[in-house]
Structure 1
């Protein structure tokens, strides 16, 4: 099979990411349209034949999670009814991923419900990046290809040549991923002791475990919405003698208020990916790195029945 056989389409909030993927592969973006009527109803249409083709639909479940998720279902249904041979849902950011367990009575495991709906709508495969927890792959019965932003973020940080660097995890839950970052950068790790009292976006960093005195700190996390933990941890690091403070996020889910917090904080720079299209992150303190080429390379390998895991042979597994 050749790369010209690949058909990539973009949903309403995945079109620019899909275009970057197409530019990398050297193909044209699939012709399609999305309409949202005045009552909120969503209409999707494929404007070219996909009969007997393997197609790929790019749509994050990000800043408009309910609409974006619903749109994915309609796309899956449309491609299947148009007799596509297979449909891969490319979801750079998988929203509701924090709802991955039943940790109190009478609550929904939202990530599992999402996974089942996407499969029932017709997805034959899912391609995503940095799930909040790897157990979410088990919610799908169809194959899930799980990509990692770590190599791309790590390469960028290495090129910054920051001396006396220490990687800082915001809490114990992200400590393993932070250690993977630290291993990649060959630097030590520190861990924040974070407590969240309720189901809101406010958490308090109580203590920092590890030596940060006189060091430059890199806070790592999968995403941040309110920016509260990042800023609180940055202030705690400063109080404990850290020099310059940076942050690396797999997904830039930051709100406008969060960006304002970061701009007024001790954080020098936040580095993240374009997995979610977010105009709020247009700030001098935020650097966005594209992971579209990574997804494009994964699509080429999927299409040609080649290994994807070899893309991460040197990356520690979660």
Structure 2
């Protein structure tokens, strides 16, 4: 692929993922700079000619969420004002996806506000990974491709060649996606029933549906922040007679004592993607990272050549 056919630019949140995507596509990383002034204001500048070019911008919105989200908007605006033919935004982790509904009085639907802002800034298309709520695609007026990390995570699990495998969903809400993991790995499914009573990012496991005794269990989820739920589910699985426990999560959004909880839990290995690469905590040796760069690179290639992305969802 010639370097004059497209431009891939990375924001501050995903420099390593951007570099790997560009290496796969055989294009240089697009030039640009981001400055933060002493008062907290951000300054974004595109460092090369993008007039008439199709630009692909890589930027997760986490650590710090608000700064990286504003940076994303400024990048889009700068690229459009530099006369880019199109701007496709790749958001490996869309943090405000958790605010997808009005589930109590007088609250903002944060994901919708963010979606409208991205569109208003000038984005022509959005590509993301395992949105917390797939219906968020409907908040946008531009095309949205919500890619799946399932293939890369299941390949990593399969490489361990575990027998008597059981896939565990940490709650009923993720059961449908967990069933896809189970089908791909040829394993039965179990579901943990948990309840969340406040905004403390903690939940309590109250029951387990399914047979796990004597089996190697793998908990699957879209993201983890504090490791609270995963650790509690893992302990519950061991109490129910599981032989071992592992976990596979798309977004490793680790904060606070997450790594201490992981190390103290029954989890023997935690697989995450590289959608979040600037976590403020030092990762435990139990964390194993699998790259989604090939997935995003293939999405860019197909979008750029006007090919279908359907194969990426199989």
Question: TM-score category by the smaller chain?
Answer: over 0.9
Aligned-partner SS, 1:202 = coil
Please report how far the alpha carbon of residue 42 of structure 1 lies from its aligned counterpart in structure 2 after TM superposition: 0.4
Offset of 1:78 from its aligned partner? 0.3
CA–CA distance in 2 between the matches of 1:57 and 1:180? 30
Q: Which residue of 1 aligns with 2:287?
A: 286
> What is the aligned partner in structure 2 of residue 141 from structure 1?
141
8 Å CA contact retained: 1:256, 1:281:
no
Instruction: Work out the CA distance in 2 between the residues paired with 1:76 and 1:242.
Output: 48
* Deviation of 1:128 (Å): 0.4
Contact 1:192 1:209 in 2 (8 A): yes
Question: 1:167·1:182 contact (CA, 8 Å) conserved in 2?
Answer: yes
CA distance in 2 between partners of 1:311 and 1:210 (Å): 30
Q: Which moved more, 1:72-81 or 1:251-260?
A: 251-260
User: 1:64, 1:127 → 2: CA distance?
Assistant: 21
CA displacement 1:168-201 (0-9 Å, x = unmatched): 0011000001101000101000000100110121
Shift of 1:255: 1.7
Residue 103 (structure 1) shift: 1.3
How far apart, CA to CA, are the structure 2 residues paired with 1:240 and 1:171?
A: 17
Between the aligned partners of 1:204 and 1:17, the Cα distance in structure 2 is 34
* 1:216 matched residue in structure 2: 216
Distance in 1 between the 2:282 and 2:188 partners? 29
For structure 2, the residue ranges without an aligned partner over 5 or more in a row are none
CA contact (8 A) 1:3 1:25 kept: no
Pairing of 1:91-130 with structure 2 (within 5 A) = 91-130=91-130
Cα deviation code 1:208-263 (max 9, x no counterpart): 11111111110000001011000011111111111110000011101241011101
Aligned residues of 1:223 and 1:251 also touching (Cα < 8 A): yes
**Counterparts of 2:186 and 2:139, CA distance in 1:** 34
Q: Residues 13 and 278 of structure 2 are in contact (CA less than 8 Å); yes or no, is this contact kept in structure 1?
A: no
Structure 1: 5+ residue runs without aligned partners?
314-318
SS of the counterpart of 2:93?
coil
SS in 2 for 1:205: strand
1:37 correspondence with 2:37: yes
Cα distance per residue 1:9-52 (max 9 Å; x no partner): 01111222111100111110001010011111100111100001
User: Does structure 2 conserve the Cα–Cα contact (< 8 Å) formed by 1:90 and 1:126?
Assistant: yes
Inter-partner Cα distance in structure 2 for 1:308 and 1:259? 36
- The CA RMSD measured in Å over matched residues stands at 1.2
Matching of residue 198 in structure 1 with residue 198 in structure 2: yes
Whole-Å Cα distance in 2 between the matches of residues 172 and 3 of structure 1?
46
SS of match in other structure, 1:97: helix
Shift of 1:281: 5.5
Aligned counterpart, 1:316: none
Give the drift of 1:63.
Answer: 2.4
- What is residue 173 of structure 2 aligned with on the other side? 173
Deviation string, structure 1 residues 121-154 (Cα, Å, up to 9, x no partner): 0100001010001100000000011110000101
How far apart are the structure 1 equivalents of 2:187 and 2:94? Answer: 30
TM-score after normalising by structure 1: 0.96
Structure 1 segments, 4+ long, off by >6 Å, are none
How many residues were matched structurally?
313
Shift of 1:312: 2.7
TM-score (ref. length: structure 2): 0.97
Q: Distance in 1 between matches of 2:189 and 2:30?
A: 44
Distance in 1, matches of 2:275 and 2:260, equals 21
